[in-house]
Every structure is written in C-alpha cells, then in structure tokens.
C-alpha cells in the first residue's frame, strides 16, 4: 500500500524563496513576488536596524531596512519574517550561550513586531552546531536553512539542516526551473511520486551589486502561475509537513485520523485523497 504526501489541495509541488539580511532591495523583490503570486521568507537581524534618520552613501549596496520600513513592507503581507540572529555572528564560532541568545532574542523581537510566532531561522554564514540544533529541536522552531545547494527538489530529512535547491545566481537555476515546471510527477516519475520542493535563496542586494535583476525577474515569471504548485512561505511548508506526519493510521492502513487543525492531502494507492481536520476516514469507502 502506497501513501504519499501531497500539499494543500492535492498539489504535488511547492515553491518558496528565502532572502537574508532585511535590505532595501527587498522592497523591489517583494513587489515582483506580489505581482506574480510568489511567496517567501525574509530573514532579518533586529539588532542591526539602522536609526530611523539614517542616510546611506550612494555607493553602498548593502543598505539595511529600518525597523519602520520592515513593518511597512511585511506587516499584513503574504510573506514571512524569520530569524537571522540579533547581530549576524557565525553561530559556530561564538559560545553556546551567546548563540542561543542571538537566536532567541531575534525571535522574540520579531514576534513582538508582528504579533505571531516565528518558526524558522537562516543560519548566518552557514554556522551552527549540534548543541544549537538540539536546542532548536526542543523549541518551537520548524526549520533552519543552510547555504548548501541540493540541486534537487527532495524534502529535507532534517528541516533544521535544510539545504535549499540553489542560490539565485546558480548556473543551474533555469534548468532546474524547467525541470520543476515541466515534470508531471505522477506521469513522468511513476516510481518516485514524492512531492517536489523548489527552494531558492539569496540576498536581494546582490541584484543591485551585480546588476542582474533580470535573473530573478525571469525566474519568477517562469515558475509563477502554475496550477500544480503551492506558493508558500518557509514555515507554511514545514508546518504542513509536520502536521501531515501526525496522521494516525490503523495497522492495516484502512482507517486514518487527522488530529490537526489543517485539512491534509495524500496519494492513497494512486488516487488523490484528503482528510479534513478532525476527521476519521475509512479509505475502503470510495
């Protein structure tokens, strides 16, 4: 008996973006994403907000958003704001107590700003330790993003050491996009029916610095508006995956109960099925 997760409304694919540092170029990127229905997560350092009257030199590319600008951009937006630590240190090079303070102080500040739980982190400089992972696993964090490229669409075995598919400047970006868009998972990969996750990361100031806004413009236009893709934030995706794991099956897999607050979807022996929040379902009844 084959039971395979599907995303909300039975979609077999998900796409998300993740951008770091909370910089001025996020404004243009968010506008582009909004125009095309693409969603993502922006990871900020609340200890590095410039003063509200700060003025940046014209030649400075890395211009952090002020606290008020972050609120204006992301409050009531379709995107997520997540942890990038308070002051952006390499977490594997500072004492454990400092690393934990950096993570949770940033988390607390963001939660106070947006009045909602923060469920994820992008590790500065890719730095983390096993002690940090253990602490995060015991907290409310769902995922932690690294900077290693997987160059595939597989779901991570451990979301706290998540490898994105690639950086936006990766030479394979558009080839990966073509594969992601054109593959019909159930027809083209009948023996490998696992859902796809396309996860792209970067810093939006890089587009200005390298004068290559066309990279992300072309990518977003290529992948947007697809009926089989769920466009979501990082935490939405990993929250859904976590809830899906809580489906309770009988020994013979005939019955299933969904104890979560979310309707969940799956391929059940080759047919799309759903279990509503709180529902107990008999799969032998079609």
In this structure, the answer to whether residues 202 and 253 fall within a common structural domain is no
At 74, is the pLDDT very low, low, confident or very high (cuts 50, 70, 90)?
Answer: very high
For residues 185 and 210, membership in a common domain is answered with: yes
Question: Does residue 186 share a domain with residue 132?
Answer: yes
Question: Domains in the chain: how many in total?
Answer: 2
Residues 28 and 142 in one domain: yes
Question: Residue 189's pLDDT band (boundaries 50, 70, 90)?
Answer: confident
Domain harbouring 215, CATH code: 3.20.20.370
The domain containing residue 187 runs over which residues? 14-234
Instruction: Assess whether 40 and 106 both reside in one domain.
Output: yes
Distance CA 162, CA 85 (A): 17
Residue 272 included in any domain: yes
Residue 106 lies in a domain: yes
Do residues 227 and 255 share a domain?
A: no
- Euclidean distance between CA atoms 67 and 153, whole angstroms: 34
Q: Is residue 254 part of a domain?
A: yes
Other beta carbons within 10 Å of 103:
24
Residue 6: inside a domain, yes or no? no
Nearest to 197 by CA among 17, 26, 10: 17
Q: Helix 67-74 crosses helix 96-114 at what angle (to 10 degrees)?
A: 60
pTM exceeds 0.95, yes or no: yes
Angle, in degrees to the nearest 10, between helices 213-223 and 26-36: 20
| Interval 210-221: pLDDT, tens | 999 999 999 999
Mind listing the pLDDT tens digit for each residue in 38-57? 999 999 999 999 999 999 99
The angle formed by the CA atoms of residues 120, 258 and 275, to the nearest 5 degrees, is: 105
Tokens 């609120």, residue?
71
Identify the pLDDT of residue 87. 98
For residue 192, is pLDDT > 90?
no
Q: What is the pLDDT of residue 286?
A: 64
Kindly state whether residues 172 and 272 are assigned to the same domain: no
Angle at 62 (CA atoms; ends 60, 63), nearest 5 degrees: 85
DSSP of 33-63, one letter per residue?
A: HHHHT--EEEEE-GGGPPPTT----TT----
Residue 124: pLDDT above 90? yes
pLDDT at 267 over 80: yes
Q: Tell me, yes or no, whether 8 lies in a domain.
A: no
Structural domain includes residue 2: no
pLDDT digits (tens, 9 = 90+) for 133-146: 999 999 999 999 99
């Amino acid at each position: 008996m084959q039971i395979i997760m599907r995303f909300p409304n039975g979609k077999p694919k998900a796409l998300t973006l993740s951008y770091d540092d909370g910089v001025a170029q996020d404004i243009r990127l968010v506008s582009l994403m909004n125009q095309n229905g693409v969603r993502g997560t922006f990871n900020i350092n609340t200890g590095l907000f410039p003063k509200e009257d700060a003025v940046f030199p014209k030649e400075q590319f890395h211009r952090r958003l002020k606290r008020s600008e972050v609120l204006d951009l992301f409050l009531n937006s379709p995107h997520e704001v997540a942890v990038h630590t308070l002051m952006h240190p390499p977490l594997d090079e500072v004492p454990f107590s400092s690393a934990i303070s950096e993570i949770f102080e940033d988390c607390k500040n963001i939660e106070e700003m947006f009045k909602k739980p923060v469920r994820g982190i992008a590790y500065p400089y890719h730095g983390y330790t096993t002690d940090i992972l253990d602490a995060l696993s015991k907290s409310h964090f769902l995922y932690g993003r690294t900077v290693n490229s997987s160059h595939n669409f597989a779901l991570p075995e451990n979301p706290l050491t998540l490898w994105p598919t690639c950086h936006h400047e990766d030479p394979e970006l558009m080839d990966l996009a073509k594969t992601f868009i054109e593959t019909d998972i159930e027809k083209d990969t009948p023996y490998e029916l696992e859902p796809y996750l396309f996860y792209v990361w970067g810093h939006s100031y890089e587009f200005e610095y390298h004068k290559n806004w066309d990279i992300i413009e072309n990518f977003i236009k290529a992948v947007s508006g697809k009926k089989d893709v769920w466009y979501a934030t990082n935490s939405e995706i990993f929250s859904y995956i976590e809830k899906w794991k809580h489906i309770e099956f009988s020994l013979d897999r005939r019955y299933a109960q969904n104890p979560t607050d979310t309707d969940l979807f799956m391929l059940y022996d080759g047919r799309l099925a759903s279990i509503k929040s709180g529902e107990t379902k008999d799969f032998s009844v079609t």
